[in-house]
Amino acid sequence: MEDTAALLGSSAIKQRLAGVTGLLEQLRRQDAAPEASATLIPHVLPCLRDHNSKIALGALEILQLLVSRVAESTLRSYFKLLWLSLVERLGDSKLPVREKAVDVVVEISVVLDVDTVLDKLKGCMGHKNWRTREQSLHAVWRCLERQDLFREKQDELLDDVLKLLEDSSKDVRDAAITALEKFYMCIGASLLSDLEYKNIRPSQVKTLTGRFERIPVRGNENRAVTPSYDDRSNQDNDDAPAQGDAAPEKLSSILSSYDLQVSSSSSSVARYLASVRSRTNNEAKAMADVSGDGDRSPSQASSTSSKVVQASTFGSGGGDISEKEIQKQLGVIFDKLHLDNNWDKRVGGLKMLQKLTKRCRSASNSGNVLPLLSQGLRPIRERLCQQVTDLRSSVSREACQAIETLANTLRDEFNAHAEIFLGYLLKATYVTIQVISTSADTTIRSMIESTSNGYARVIPKLIECAKSRNQVLRYNAVCYLTMTLQRWSTSFLSKHSDMFVPILPVILLDALGDVRATSRKCYWSFHHLFPDEADGVFARLDGTTQKNLKDDPSKFTAKTARQTEFSSMNDAAAPQAVDVARSALRTAVQPPISAPAASSSVTFSDEQPRLSNDSQRLPSHLKTVLPKLFQKYIDTKESIRVIARENLEYIASAIDCSTLTALVISMLGDGSNMKVKAAMCHYLRDLLPGAGEYLKHGANNSHMRSFLLKIALLMDTDVPVSVSSACSELVSIAAQLYGPEMEVALGLLPPSKRLVVSKVLKSKKIVLNFSNTQRPPLSSSAAPHSARSRDGEDDDNQDMEFPAPRQERSRKRPESPSVRSSSPARQNSQKRINTAAQVPSPVIVKNPKTDDRASRQGPVKRPDEMTSNATLSGHPVLSTTTFSSAAADADKHDVQLDDLLLLLEKNNLSEAEIKHALYKTLHFIETGSSATWDRCFGRLLLLLLDAATDKDVHALKVLQKLVEAQPTRAQMFFELLLQRLIDAIGDQVDVARHLMERILHDLVSFASDHQQTLSTLVPLVSRVDPPALQVVLRLVKVCLQACERTSPQDAVFLRKPDIANSLMKVLTRRLDHASSSVRKNAVDCLVAFHFATKEDNSIVPKYLAAELDDTRRRLVEIFIDRAKVDRHPVGLST
């Protein structure tokens, strides 16, 4: 044997082959002693690397025999060299060599520690050679099968196997599926629940499900189908043939699984169809056995049926879930949500959290595990909130969906987390990335809708946000407060009723029209629940605000809105309604309206109380179902679109057209999906002919005016062609059907919105004749009020009289700026707020005493009779020809400023005319009154900002003067100015860049809330590039220096660890920037932060010592020492 082994080292191939063949025959004939076998291993090892495949194959066969005969210590001494050769053979081009290498690895795992071999194989799964990866998978499952360690090694190896399902090589993917089949054969259905939390594509899920259904499972799951030996012994002899057929069935199922593997070269569609067909046959056969076999016990039948259901649903969570499993999954989620991880890994953790939540909800012991889930959320709550604030929209959106799923699942158990999640979500509602803001808004609304008992600290948080400087946040907070009043129980709201009393007057007098309009809905919802407190608030308001409240439609619909919300929450009417509608459609496509349905149909009249009574009779689920149906109407699947269209047609046939039109018009402004809006416009087109009782009535044509305003708001933004064409067609049809009403309503629209509708009519060649319009009579109940009201909304002047002959320019101007910039950043920052206030036509207002006398003595006079007698103390009376000369002098400056604003709004002015208008504006900036700026500041600022960002240096100079003269009002537009100027600063000349920086410098210097200012500036440091980066760093320095000048109590937030670490982390990253100017400004910011911390001067040195190298740390310390010397100069005497 030793002589034969010596041939293995020969240089001649024939002699090496003869040596391998002879040694293999000798080992097969006789058993060699362990000592003799150990001496043969050094001779065999070189042959493993031989280029001749026959020699390599023979050497592997020799090693397979020697491994089982040598001692463990001997094998361990040669293991390193042996493994290197085996890895090379696992990737050999010859299949027999690869398979024999796997056999040798399995034998080694028996002799040595199996953990050592598996650890080596895990490394081979990532080998660059696809054959090595494939054979490593086969070696893994064979080693586990040999040792029966599938359950013990599941957590350690399953992730590596699943990762190879995405391998570029098809053979590797097939090997991974084979390995998962082996896992399933030994572990059973519990593997499905574990795979549910893995990041597997749906197509792979289908493939695995089909393969698993063909595999018989060993263990407890197989007992229901394959009886045990004791059970078979107790059965009658008549069952013997059935038992004899069980083995062929089992064998055929095994063979079918291998047949599917062999035919893996066929298309995936064919394999999927085959698995579906097989699954259907197996389920039908199993159910037939359950229902037709009378000899089987109920327990056996139930176990068989449960197995069928469990096999047909991949990962369905109908069973129990243990506390240990919840804690295990939450631990994995906690690790994945770390901020240092890649974004896709964090998204996987968020999806895993959603699946765990849904599984807990559907578990049979959900009542016990949901409190455990709520308690287990506390460690990961902070990391989940951090994902909401992530700038990557996919991460933030997934985090919002996870919070929404938690709120809808935990419901009242979510109370412990509501306040913390709400704080982060509110910050995300006003970011400029629309995906993030929309997701956060939807999540907050779902949180409010998830409970009727209320969340303890949510209302105080929302009231605090209603006082914010940010316009979007104020508007959203008022909307959410209104939802709480409509959805939460009275017993809970009564504990917070005192908190609503001081905030209601503030939001009712807000500077923004949309906030005021929403606050009126909030007031009437509050009045419905707490009338005494609401009456006290009403008594403290001024006359104009009181009249606007009385004229608001929410006064009549507050009770209905609350009843509708409660019915939709408690009765879950929405899903039932869809099922009812769908079942009706199955019986008849166009069912006739029965007598009860006809009696319950809703019609509109010209009286507002009647309208509210009709709305109470609306189906409680209609407002919830319609948005979902329109969403399904644009689904990518044709079958879903057909079903949605059938449901919408059924609703149109069963509900009165006027009622349905009013509901759809109110939904036009909801959401941001333009395809849904186009579908609503097409749906309205068919409803308009039958909606006369709605569009022809209403105080001062309020219904037609609301319809036109919705269309104008929709078309006033950048919308797709499909939406604009649908809106144009809708306006055209409305003009043909309801021309006189549209004429009156068009005159009541704000000029900017009227211009949008007029352009549509002009494009359709439709001319409305204003001279023949019959004006609505003046309401005798109209309260006298100022013609210069602060509120410019379309609901604020419903009962005023307008002169008939011709339209004159009104002296009432928008109180808020009209946002018409084409800048995407600006559109995003103002995305949810309609800042274009209403500018009505000239208004005839009577003296209060004259009004009272007229109302007592006789009928109301005609408009032409009132014109000559209309006077108002302290204000001019407007006629159709000219202003009163006595009152015109009092408001001379206002009139001229309004003319200048109208001039600046034109886009066809020459450069000389623009310069002249800007020069005149400088005079009004110095002499304008407070009332003038309350009305015109925002409008002028945005006009100047539009011109300034278009490289107009003169507009920048005027804007700088405006900010210097009105610093408090400019703070309301801080975020908008910062974003617009920073975005435009890179394309400007040096003079314009200097002016922009001075404007921002003044804004930051005058800021009162330094913490909010820093939170706005710091994210820009990581996002912008030079030269804007240098400007942002200098602004951060200015803000820190302002903190230093304040009292220590005002700067205490800088010493908080989270704020200090985040700020210094951003600044120290800029110390590595390529630009020396950026590095210098970053050092200046660190120096300013060091002195701003005041009492605790060790924060910066400690952080620098821990995070920076010696060179950069010493650089910052040198500048800090220099700053100390400059602040405290040392005299010559010392």
Whole-number pLDDT of residue 509: 92
Q: Concatenate the DSSP letters of all residues of 495-550 into one string.
A: GGHHHHHHHHHHHHT-SSHHHHHHHHHHHHHHHHH-HHHHHHHHHTS-HHHHHHHH
C-alpha span between 176 and 152 (Å, rounded): 19
pLDDT band at 1097 (very low <50, low <70, confident <90, very high): low
Residue 263, exposed/middle/buried by CB under 10 A (0-12, 13-18, 19+)? exposed
Q: Work out the mean pLDDT of the chain and round it to a whole number.
A: 74
pLDDT band at 477 (very low <50, low <70, confident <90, very high): very high
pLDDT band at 282 (very low <50, low <70, confident <90, very high): low
Structure tokens at 327: 């804690």
Q: How far is CA 595 from CA 598, 600, 601, 654, 873, in A?
A: 5, 9, 10, 11, 60
> Which residues are registered as beta bridge partners of 878?
883
Q: Which tens digits make up the pLDDT trace of 904-918? A: 766 667 778 778 888
C-alpha span between 148 and 413 (Å, rounded): 43
Rounded to 10 degrees, the C-alpha dihedral 853/857/860/865 comes to -70
C-alpha span between 133 and 135 (Å, rounded): 6
C-alpha span between 162 and 199 (Å, rounded): 9
Q: Report residue 486 CA to chain centroid gap.
A: 24
Looking at the chain, the whole-number percentage of residues with pLDDT higher than 70 is 72
Q: To which CATH superfamily is domain 2-222+246-260+268-280 assigned? A: Leucine-rich Repeat Variant (1.25.10.10)
Residues 6+ apart with CB under 8 A from 1006: 967, 968, 970, 971
Higher pLDDT, 195 or 578: 195
Closest CA to 378 of 406, 417, 339, 348: 417
Q: Concatenate the DSSP letters of all residues of 1017-1069 into one string.
A: HHHHHHH--TTHHHHHHHHHHHHHHHHHHS-TTTTGGGGSHHHHHHHHHHHHH
C-alpha span between 360 and 318 (Å, rounded): 9
Dihedral sign computed on CA atoms, order 1059, 1064, 1066, 1067:
positive
Residue 190 has pLDDT above 90, yes or no: no
User: What CATH code is assigned to 474-563?
Assistant: 1.25.10.10
Q: Which tens digits make up the pLDDT trace of 236-263? A: 444 443 444 444 443 344 334 333 333 3
Residue type, 290: V
Higher pLDDT, 430 or 1094: 430
In CATH, 572-593+600-768 is 1.25.10.10: yes
In this structure, are residues 492 and 418 in contact, taking their beta carbons and an 8 Å threshold?
A: no
Whole-number pLDDT of residue 209: 81
C-alpha span between 724 and 760 (Å, rounded): 9
Q: For the chain, what is the largest distance between any 2 Cα atoms, rounded to a whole number of angstroms?
A: 137
Domain ranges of the chain: 2-222+246-260+268-280, 474-563, 572-593+600-768, 781-823+830-890
Structure tokens at 473: 């946040």
- Asked whether the bond before 1027 is cis by omega within 30 degrees of 0, the reply is yes
C-alpha span between 253 and 806 (Å, rounded): 88
C-alpha span between 1043 and 305 (Å, rounded): 71
Structure tokens at 713: 């708001």
C-alpha span between 321 and 318 (Å, rounded): 9
* Secondary structure class of 241 (helix, strand, coil): helix
Structure tokens at 1130: 């040392």
Contacts by residues 869-877 (CB-CB < 8 Å, ≥ 24 positions apart):
870/844, 870/845, 870/846, 871/846, 871/847, 872/786, 872/787, 872/845, 872/846, 872/847, 873/847, 875/786, 875/787, 875/788, 875/845, 876/811, 877/844, 877/845
In this structure, are residues 327 and 360 in contact, taking their beta carbons and an 8 Å threshold?
A: no
Whole-number pLDDT of residue 569: 52
Structure tokens at 214: 């063909």
Residue type, 593: I
C-alpha span between 786 and 686 (Å, rounded): 42
C-alpha span between 550 and 721 (Å, rounded): 40
C-alpha span between 91 and 84 (Å, rounded): 11
Which of 250-264, 485-499, 1009-1023 is the most confident on average? 485-499
Residue type, 992: A
Geometric angle at alpha carbon 613, from 611 and 618, rounded to 5°: 95
C-alpha span between 148 and 141 (Å, rounded): 10
**Helix, strand, coil percentages in the chain from 3-state DSSP, rounded to 5:** 70, 0, 25
Whole-number pLDDT of residue 406: 94
Q: Report residue 572 CA to chain centroid gap.
A: 24
Whole-number pLDDT of residue 847: 38
C-alpha span between 897 and 933 (Å, rounded): 10
Q: Which tens digits make up the pLDDT trace of 91-144? A: 999 999 999 999 999 999 888 888 889 989 989 999 999 999 999 999 999 999
Structure tokens at 383: 């990391």
Residue 400 has pLDDT above 70, yes or no: yes
Q: Which residue has the tokens 């994210």?
A: 1019
In this structure, are residues 260 and 270 in contact, taking their beta carbons and an 8 Å threshold?
A: no
Residue 464 has pLDDT above 90, yes or no: yes
In SS3 terms, 253-304 reads as HHHHHHHHHHHHHCCHHHHHHHHHHHHHHHHHHHHHHHHHCCCCCHHHHHHH
| Eight-class DSSP state of 878 | B
C-alpha span between 1073 and 1089 (Å, rounded): 20
Dihedral sign computed on CA atoms, order 312, 316, 318, 321:
positive
pLDDT band at 520 (very low <50, low <70, confident <90, very high): very high
Residue 407 has pLDDT above 90, yes or no: yes
Q: Tell me what the mean pLDDT of segment 1064-1076 comes to.
A: 84
Of 98-107, 430-439, 958-967, least confident by mean pLDDT is 958-967
Q: How far is CA 881 from CA 72, 77, 895, in A?
A: 112, 110, 16
> Which residues are registered as beta bridge partners of 872?
875
In this structure, are residues 551 and 795 in contact, taking their beta carbons and an 8 Å threshold?
A: yes
Rounded to 10 degrees, the C-alpha dihedral 511/514/516/519 comes to -140
Equal fold, 2-222+246-260+268-280 vs 474-563: yes
Looking at the chain, the whole-number percentage of residues with pLDDT higher than 90 is 17
Q: How far is CA 516 from CA 549, 562, 714, 1000, in A?
A: 10, 20, 20, 29
Of 193-202, 473-482, 895-904, least confident by mean pLDDT is 895-904
| Eight-class DSSP state of 322 | -
* Secondary structure class of 1107 (helix, strand, coil): helix
Alpha helices by DSSP H, listed for 313-433, are 323-336, 343-362, 366-388, 393-410, 415-428
Q: Which residue has the tokens 């259905």?
A: 189
Q: CB 798: neighbour CB atoms within 10 A?
A: 22
Residue 591 has pLDDT above 50, yes or no: no
Residue 612 has pLDDT above 80, yes or no: no
Q: Quick one: which H or E segment has residue 246?
A: helix 240-262
